[in-house]
Chains A and B, each alone.
Chain A
Amino acid sequence: AQTVTQSQPEMSVQEAETVTLSCTYDTSESDYYLFWYKQPPSRQMILVIRQEAYKQQNATENRFSVNFQKAAKSFSLKISDSQLGDAAMYFCAYRSAAGTASKLTFGTGTRLQVTL
């Protein structure tokens, strides 16, 4: 079974600064997908960024980018120019590429605070 580990329960960053959230995972599969989801106080789950394991190039979405290290099974999220609206719980998630309707396996989350 796959596991996802987020070792930072809480992180804090000043507005306009950069912060990196860590995520490691364990799997015996070679093909899979990784995601970062954001959950603000509204509790809505919002997809931030995705990465296909077969792609060596790190995904980027505006101020959000990942550092995907397949051999190390590491998938960190970098948020640049942090904004107050980035304050939320961030979940790293794994999805197998095998079969249809594969579930998401989430880490325990990192709560990000953004200060002025």
Chain B
Amino acid sequence: SSELTQDPAVSVALGQTVRITCQGDSLRSYYASWYQQKPGQAPVLVIYGKNNRPSGIPDRFSGSSSGNTASLTITGAQAEDEADYYCNSRDSSGNHQAVFGGGTKLTVL
């Protein structure tokens, strides 16, 4: 299957921890990558691989994976973390197509 499923919306209190999940069959073979997108801006890669952060991404962002579910965790959420978050991987069926999850709108209260 080439689908990745995310919860449409999640909220977190300022300074608390939040987990955003992504489910899909391809995640049994592929690590998910995670992107943050703020209004009017291009997506920004925040997590890739097992748990890798590109340069400049705060260490409050972390990733994990278990079975067909990948998670993005923000430990100590900040107001500036309010954004849409998308997971992404390639399809594992061998057709090499890539797919994005539907996105999760994170609100920091």
State yes or no: do A and B come from one complex.
no
